[in-house]
Amino acid sequence: MGETNDRCGEKHPDRRRFLRRMAGAATFAVAGAAARRAAADSSDPAANPLAALMDDSQHDDFGQTFDQASRTIRMPKPTAPTLSPQTAEITQQAVKAYDDIVARGGWPQVPRVDELHLGMRHPGVVDLRQRLLVSGDLDPNAVGNDIYDSYVEAAVRRFQVRHGLAPDGILRAATLDAMNVPAATRRDQLKLNISRLKTLTTNLGPRYVVVNIPAARVEAIEHDLAVSRHTAVVGRPSRPSPDVNSKIIEINFNPYWTVPVSIIRKDLIPIMEKEPDYLTKNHIRIYDVHHNELQPSQINWYSEDAVHYTFRQDPGDFNSLGHIRIYFPSPYGVYMHDTPEKDLFGGDYRWDSSGCCRVQNVRQLVYWLLDETKGWPPEAIDQAIESGNQVNARLAKPVPLHWVYVTAWSASNGVVQFREDIYNRDGLGEPVTQQTTKL
């Protein structure tokens, strides 16, 4: 299983409990202001789930090192998973709260600005405060003026975390676009995801992995807790990641990558027309049907001739699959894997692959996957990676895997979250953004 033939080869191309009613305003909640401030000062994730999620985002998702050795990996605190048997029911409760927001007139549109950050003064901050107040992200005592102060910055961070954006507290285009989605649309988004959640949260078992495609997020779930969480890069809108229900059966260390015909045709041929040394620079070898190696100069790159040959990338730091592939049977030719492009995990929009799922800090996930497999402690995994040799580890117990499409939910921590409908499957309008990517 060390050699792969899939759609994974691009080289360039997730806050707080806030449902509470506020007298005299179109707002809602499950806790009073005093309780909320007390939770904000608490380090207990159960008391302050939004803070726990913000901590997760700032350290695991958007840190500077995305694949570390076992001695330095920061293990996340177990929290409520996106998918659990209770998710659909809790999301239904959130719908009622959003019905109330819509009935009260929704929230105001925030005026278009280039950027707002801490210390700035702008008339639009008044509308921004009101917008954050209605959604429960801003303390009701912090409204009224036009200064982008620490209260506003903290509220923007909360909003960003709930919408899967980098929580930097700065109002830029991506955050502004998400804020200006109407309340009725967000309510309808919650409604339509309930049916998905009911289907997806039955018979999950005690141990499984979920990839939520719109969230570009991976969770390892054990006994109803997310014990390992990872930012992901999934399929771009033109090459979407499919829904998958399978089982992870094997880990491949230092795999070859065999370029599929679709990428040869759509990407490799055009690149070779412009960069004749691309294959050589990226350690990709060409073989004919008799397994004879050919040179790039022997291929007519201005025709379809190249699709008749095998293109195989050597293992190494440069390999498009990185050092790890997580294998599961699938008719779609997609996998979960490492990547040499670690910086891709730090962006707000992570729909850049040809359908596969790149996993941030994938080594941590593999530690968990192989935890019940004899002979594969973390030290052995590290050694297999560092050896540079092709090594395969068969899981003693296959782990169920679900790639799902959920764009809105409220989990057992009570925090309502939204993600972009990047593939436009909700039918509620165009996605907030479409991104053009290249090989």
Tens of pLDDT, residues 20-39: 332 222 333 322 233 333 33
Neighbours of 389 (CB within 10 A): 11
- Output phi, psi for 277, to 5 deg: -100, 10
Mean pLDDT of 172-200: 95
Known catalytic residue: 283?
A: no
Euclidean distance between CA atoms 16 and 6, whole angstroms: 39
Q: Is the pLDDT confidence value at 120 over 90?
A: yes
Strands 324-327, 217-222: pairing kind: unpaired
* 201/82: higher pLDDT: 82
Q: Is the pLDDT of residue 41 over 80?
A: no
Q: What is the pLDDT of residue 9?
A: 58
- Predicted structure pTM score: 0.81
Q: Under 8 Å CB-to-CB from 72, ≥6 apart: which residues?
A: none
Tokens of 357: 């799922």
Considering 8, 163, 323, 356, which one is annotated as catalytic?
A: 356
pLDDT band at residue 42 using 50, 70 and 90 as cut-offs = very low
Q: DSSP for 70-95?
A: TTT--PPPPB--SS-TTHHHHHHHHH
For 48-107, what is each residue's pLDDT tens digit?
A: 556 656 555 544 433 333 444 333 334 456 677 888 888 899 999 999 999 999 999 999
Phi, psi torsion values for 398, nearest 5 degrees: -55, 140
Give me the chain's average pLDDT, please. 83
Question: Six-digit token pair at 374?
Answer: 């004899």
Residue 425 pLDDT > 60: yes
Residue-level pLDDT at 79? 79
Q: Are strands 336-337 and 357-359 parallel, antiparallel or unpaired?
A: parallel
What would the pLDDT profile of 129-163 be if each residue is shown by its tens digit? 999 999 999 998 888 899 999 999 999 999 999 99
User: 263-317 pLDDT, tens per residue?
Assistant: 899 999 999 999 999 999 999 999 999 999 999 999 999 998 999 999 999 998 8
Catalytic residue among 323, 337, 357, 402: 337
Q: Is 356 a catalytic residue?
A: yes
